[in-house]
Amino acid sequence: MSEAEISKILLQSFSNYYPVSIQLKNLAEDIKGFVEGYSNENMVTISGTAVHLNDINHIELIKS
């Protein structure tokens, strides 16, 4: 996924308080949680876990 696509989904998640599932490039398990905010322009916090945007391989919204 492109950084623009990832950023768009992160914004949707943050704006509508939808949880996300994130697949990282260097981690076997997905991270699931809520977008709490950005710590700088390239880092996002997902339920207390800081994630660098370049480390995100895939992201999707979790809608119930």
- Cβ-contact 63, 16 below 8 angstroms: no
Percent of the chain clearing pLDDT 90 (strictly above): 80
Of 13-17, 25-29, 33-37, the poorest mean pLDDT is in: 25-29
Alpha helices in 1-64 (DSSP H): 3-16
Judged against a pLDDT cut of 90, whether residue 17 lies above it is answered with yes
Percent of the chain clearing pLDDT 70 (strictly above): 100
CA–CA separation, 13 and 32 (whole Å) = 12
**Residue 23's Cα: distance from chain center in Å?**
9
Residue 55: the pLDDT is 95
